Amino acid sequence: MKLAKIFAVLAAVFLVGAVAVATLGPEDMTLGDALGALDRLSLEGVERFVRLHLSNWIWDHPLKALLIRPIWLVPASLGIILAGASATAANSSGTPLNSRRRRS
């Protein structure tokens, strides 16, 4: 039960953060633009590492597609995942939901 509450609080933090980033940030800011604004050399280093050690296809298709998404999508998706983890943790507490036992 404690783990479910922790996940719920983290989900709320990420979802509120996503709304704040979407509302207060520039509306056309992508994840690639935000990472480039932080440090342009690190983004180029990641590209070089992926192309050298993994595959050109991984950089060209899934990672470039991720980098053109809006910046608020990252905390929103983490919030949704954590909300699902909270619901799962709350339901797996060991007692069945439809228990025929009366509680007093």
| Residue in the structure block whose two tokens are 């980098």 | 67
pLDDT in tens, the chain (104 residues): 788 899 999 999 999 999 999 999 888 888 888 888 888 778 888 888 999 999 889 888 888 888 899 999 989 999 999 999 999 988 876 655 565 666 66
Q: What's this model's pTM, rounded to 2 decimal places? A: 0.70
Nearest Cα to Cα of residue 68 among 27, 32, 18, 44 = 32
Q: Where are the domains of the chain?
A: 1-26+72-90, 30-69
Per DSSP, the three-state class of 70 is: strand
How far is the C-alpha of 3 from the C-alpha of 36, rounded, in Å?
A: 35
Provide the angle, in degrees to the nearest 10, between the axes of the packed helices 73-91 and 2-24. 160
Q: 39 — phi, psi (to 5°)? A: -160, 110
